[in-house]
Amino acid sequence: MDLEQMIVSMCQTAKKAARVLANTPPQAKSQALLQAASRLRQSGEILLAANLQDVTTGQKHGLPAAMLDRLTLTEARIEAMAKGLEIIAELPDPVGETISQWRRPNGLEIAQIRIPLGVVGIIYEARPNVTADAAGLCLKAGNAAILKGGSEAFRTNSAITDILAAAAVAVGLPEATIQLVRSTDRQAVALLLRQDRFVDVIIPRGGEELIRAVTERSAVPVIQHFSGICHTFVDSDADLQKAAQICINAKVQRPWVCNAMENLLVHEAVAAQFLPAFVTDLEKVGVEVRGCERTRQFVPQVKAATEADWRTEYLDLILAVKVVSSLNDAIEFVNTNGSGLADAIVSENYSNVRRFLNEVDSATVYANASTRFTDGYEFGFGAEVGISTNRLHARGPMGVRELTTYKYVIYGSGQIRQ
Amino acid sequence: MDLEQMIVSMCQTAKKAARVLANTPPQAKSQALLQAASRLRQSGEILLAANLQDVTTGQKHGLPAAMLDRLTLTEARIEAMAKGLEIIAELPDPVGETISQWRRPNGLEIAQIRIPLGVVGIIYEARPNVTADAAGLCLKAGNAAILKGGSEAFRTNSAITDILAAAAVAVGLPEATIQLVRSTDRQAVALLLRQDRFVDVIIPRGGEELIRAVTERSAVPVIQHFSGICHTFVDSDADLQKAAQICINAKVQRPWVCNAMENLLVHEAVAAQFLPAFVTDLEKVGVEVRGCERTRQFVPQVKAATEADWRTEYLDLILAVKVVSSLNDAIEFVNTNGSGLADAIVSENYSNVRRFLNEVDSATVYANASTRFTDGYEFGFGAEVGISTNRLHARGPMGVRELTTYKYVIYGSGQIRQ
């Protein structure tokens, strides 16, 4: 069987499995997830042996240390995967919810019912834990999952997938509930992206380059997560103590994630009071500050920011700072330079807060809180599928509910159209 | 200015207009729609003159009579466009609705708020009424519209767009609220489909060929409406009188639309009783029947159906009929051959109805009613943007609500992430 036949056949099988899963009761899905968790725990030796092969090959090929670290399984990481599946098992089942229901004058009753998306393709890099996590989330929402992980983790991902698929089979679900593309041929992804007859959505998880490559080549709809260039605007009426705490948190707590602050905007009325002490605080914790000309009037020690800085996702302890003359300028700046993911205003002024929240066109907009809360767990979704920068279908943090769609069920008693 | 510059500039202007429209109160949008309606009524002469030029050119180029008819404006059609805009003006405004709202343990209040999609591109064929209709629906939902109509209607569409844009300006909205791609160069569409930085969604309205061409070339997400191969299944426990009425309605009332029935499935237990009289009824009203082998045992006068018949959208007075042995076979047949748009079961058996509704994977599934109800107006949406065969974002009949997305607004009091 050549590669194309293999991919097409996987996708067809997944479609069939999806039909079964769509009508599988919540209990059976939870059972499969709990089974998978317990089987992962019992299979430590097999998993670690497979992983050792991947890690050894990775070392031979000179993979960077950070990548080797992400690739490496440990007892603790296996336990974390198992625990993750148990948490997903406990989540409320999103399928079957009546989203809305109404009766027409002719007596037809129309119900809008939440159902699974169908077949979900997940394309990711070298973290083996994504295999269990993504498969678990797809299964919870009643979807069949086709996983394509990074080649570096091929043996580890194969071993994890074998265990998950066996758990599904053990509770009577189709084996194709969870499938892994078992090829390291680069063509495999390209072929998968063309199966729009069978695959309903593709979710790439990883760096911007991966996401862009997938989006450009995909005939299947893609839920993207592009860069996070997040702003905090310290308004003229800000509580400056709150502002400092929120900004430090947004920049420093986990600088390498998408919801960390990259650009700080400060209203000119408070710049003199706010910036010197705050920049000193930033420098104390190792943040490199790059400022606009006006910023450097207040903190002359900082580097000059270039135009490119305003549109750079540093993912690092670097912050670009700009003094703005008005709320209008701040809103305009965010809408022009931001990535529409997470932006905050710090202000005690009611009207200014309201305008910022309404007029900043981002998936999540904050008043007086850190942008770091843009996250499925922090939103209370219990799990996170990803954070979408799409405008269609799902926007912002995605939970299992965002892996569903709906159908209309119409109950009649012989109605015909006049 | 070359074509590419023109398209990019239109899209940029539309994006700016969309920001304004997103924060325009309902009243102003309604006023613009009512203004547009009254201006259309007052501009009969201008519109008819522009249309006459299009029609004359079309005649010269030998356009088919049906196309010329669709292209031709009359006083009555202008009145219908104006009335349509007034109806849209009266619809509830979808923007600003709180879809859900909750409070987190740390005191953050998270509100999911309905907002416009942004910039909507509509690509359509030679019906000038789509210009007013599509622009009106986009405006109601707070979106900026970029319209690209068929070249045959270029002058008519230009005249209509001038009037609509002037109405927007008259109530203080941006001129770019409604824009028409004023080029008959085929390259214009290709360029528009590449503007994913500015355009949020493309909705093609027209034949399958147009939709496929748009989908294949678009970097912008597309809401598609592919073919409608709709089924009715007459179950063993059907009320055969209801079945006959529903089937006649689904096939005959408007055979050229997507929600008309193309395939009839009849349970073998009632085939002998149902088919002879029903096929005679169909033949009386001019329907050509094509039957499977078993069908032809009961109604030998009908043509034999080929495999291709089961997957053909006739859009005509033709019906393919198949006798099936079980509910299972019927469900399997629909899921294999249908287009997932609208499918119905006629049955008095509770369990069979339930299984069909759950297991048929279509946007709209009916018990004991005609598939012809798959329609925004019949669903009570007050207007119809289209009928989506997508699974993401919107499925089935789309009203103005489906031209919106959401953002999360988060109210804090200094929260930072631990």
Chain B residues in contact with A116 by the CB 8 A cut-off are: none
CA A334/CA B150 separation, integer angstroms: 38
Residue matched to tokens 């430090």: A248
Q: Is A99's Cβ below 8 Å from some Cβ in B?
A: no
Closest Cβ opposite residue A253 in set B242, B249, B417 = B417
Closest listed residue to residue A117, CA positions, set A393, A390, A396: A393
Cβ <8 Å between B361 and A110: no
Q: Which residues contact A291 (CB under 8 A, 6 or more apart)?
A: A299, A302, A303, A304, A305, A320, A321, A322
Other C-beta atoms lying within 10 Å of the C-beta of residue B358:
17
**B208 vs A106, residue with greater confidence:** A106
DSSP for residue B194: T
When pLDDT is cut at 50, 70 and 90, the band that residue A224 belongs to is: confident
Per cent of chain B over pLDDT 90 is 92
Across chain B, mean pLDDT equals 96
Paired residues of A334 in beta bridges: none
Interchain CB contact of B312 with A (< 8 Å) = no
User: Tokens 């009961």 — which residue?
Assistant: B298
Q: pLDDT category, B216, cuts 50, 70, 90? A: confident
Whether the Cβ atoms of residue A374 and residue A364 lie closer than 8 Å to each other: yes
- Cα A184 to Cα A66, A163, A181, A205, distances in angstroms: 21, 20, 8, 17
By the 10 Å C-beta count (0-12 exposed, 13-18 middle, 19+ buried), B327 is classed as buried
| Residue B405 touches partner A, C-beta closer than 8 Å | yes
- Residue reference for tokens 């006068």: B301
Please tell me the predicted confidence (pLDDT) of residue A178.
Answer: 98
- Residue B19 with chain A: CB contacts under 8 Å: 335, 359, 361
Which band of pLDDT confidence, cut at 50, 70 and 90, is reported for residue A377?
A: very high
> Is residue A321 within 8 Å of residue A275, measured between CB atoms?
yes
Q: Count CB pairs under 8 A between chains A and B.
A: 181
Chain B residues close to A245, C-beta within 8 Å = 414, 416
Domain boundaries, chain B: 3-224+399-410, 230-373
pLDDT of residue B209: 86
Is 80 exceeded by the pLDDT of residue A1? no
Per-residue pLDDT at A38: 98
Mean per-residue pLDDT, A109-126: 96
pLDDT surpasses 90 at B81: yes
What's the CA gap between A278 and A413, in Å, rounded?
69
What are the start-end ranges of the E strands in A224-372?
A: 230-234, 261-267, 288-291, 303-304, 318-324, 342-346, 364-369
Tokens found for residue A383: 């799990």
Secondary-structure percent of chain A, ordered helix, strand, coil, rounded to 5: 45, 20, 30
pLDDT in tens, B346-371: 999 999 999 999 999 999 999 999 99
pLDDT at A113: 98
Strands (E), B296-375: 303-304, 318-324, 342-346, 364-369
Domains A3-224+399-410 and A230-373 share a fold: no
pLDDT of residue B279: 98
Q: Which residue of B has its CA nearest to A340?
A: B407
Q: Which fold has domain B3-224+399-410?
A: Aldehyde Dehydrogenase; Chain A, domain 1 (3.40.605)
B122 DSSP β-pair partners: B147, B203
Cα separation, B27 vs A140, whole angstroms = 43
How far is the C-alpha of A223 from the C-alpha of B390, rounded, in Å? 14
Nearest alpha carbon to residue B48 among B67, B70, B72, B66:
B72
- pLDDT tens sequence across A226-255: 889 999 999 999 999 999 999 999 999 999
Q: Is the dihedral of CA B225, B206, B377, B349 positive or negative?
A: negative
A249 touches chain B (CB under 8 A): yes
Taking the Cβ of residue A242 and every Cβ of chain B, the question of whether any pair is shorter than 8 Å is answered with: yes
Q: What is the mean pLDDT of residues A394-402?
A: 95
Q: Above 80 in pLDDT, residue B96?
A: yes
Q: Tell me: pLDDT of A186 over 90.
A: no
Q: Which residue of B has its CA nearest to A411?
A: B367
Residue-wise pLDDT tens digits, B107-137: 999 999 999 999 999 999 878 999 999 999 9
- Give the closest residue to B344 by CA, choosing from B364, B319, B322: B364
Q: Which of A216, A390, A414 sits opposite B242 (nearest CB)?
A: A414
What is the H or E stretch that residue A154 is in? helix A154-170
Question: Above 80 in pLDDT, residue B1?
Answer: no
Lowest-pLDDT choice from A28-42, A403-417, B382-396: B382-396
Give the 3-state secondary structure of residue B260. coil
What pLDDT was estimated at residue B404? Answer: 98
Question: Does B410 sit within 8 Å of A365, measured CB to CB?
Answer: yes
Query: Residue A106 has which token pair?
Result: 């002719």
Angle at which helices B129-140 and B26-42 pack, to 10 degrees? Answer: 160
| DSSP β-bridge partners for residue A407 | A113
pLDDT for residue A210: 87
In this prediction, residue B208 carries a pLDDT of 82
pLDDT at A65: 93
Look over chain A and give the mean of its residue pLDDT values, rounded to a whole number. Answer: 96
Question: Which chain B residues have a beta carbon less than 8 Å from that of A201?
Answer: 391-392
Q: Which residue has the tokens 């900082």?
A: A302
pLDDT at position A135 = 96
**pLDDT bracket for residue B374 (50, 70, 90):** very high
Question: Given CB atoms, is B61 within the 8 Å cutoff of chain A?
Answer: no
pLDDT for A217: 86
Question: At residue B207, does pLDDT exceed 90?
Answer: no
How many Å separate Cα B153 from the centre of its chain? 20
* Cβ–Cβ gap B359/A23 under 8 Å: yes
User: Do residue B368 and residue A117 have CB atoms under 8 angstroms apart?
Assistant: no
> What is the average per-residue pLDDT within A348-358?
98
What residues of B are in contact with residue A99 (Cβ under 8 Å)?
none
- Measured in angstroms, the CA of A64 and the nearest CA of chain B are apart by 30
Q: What is the mean pLDDT of residues A51-61?
A: 97
pTM attached to this predicted model: 0.93
pLDDT one-digit tens code per residue, B384-408:
888 998 899 999 999 999 999 999 9
User: Which pLDDT does position A109 carry in this prediction?
Assistant: 98
Over residues A285-298, the mean pLDDT reads 98
Residue carrying structure tokens 């995909």: A218
User: Are B408 and A370 within 8 A, CB to CB?
Assistant: no
Cross-chain CB nearest to A359 (options B23, B108, B367): B23
Judged by average pLDDT, the poorest of A218-227, A263-272, B303-312, B368-377 is A218-227
**If one looks up domain B230-373 in CATH, what number appears?**
3.40.309.10
- A232 within 8 A of A246, measured Cβ to Cβ: yes
Among A221, A246, A362, select the one facing B407 at the smallest CB separation: A362
The answer to whether residue A206 scores a pLDDT higher than 90 is: no
Judged against a pLDDT cut of 90, whether residue A207 lies above it is answered with no
> Which chain A residues are closer than 8 Å to B247 by Cβ?
none
B212 band by pLDDT with thresholds 50, 70 and 90: confident
Question: Which pLDDT value is given to residue B186?
Answer: 87
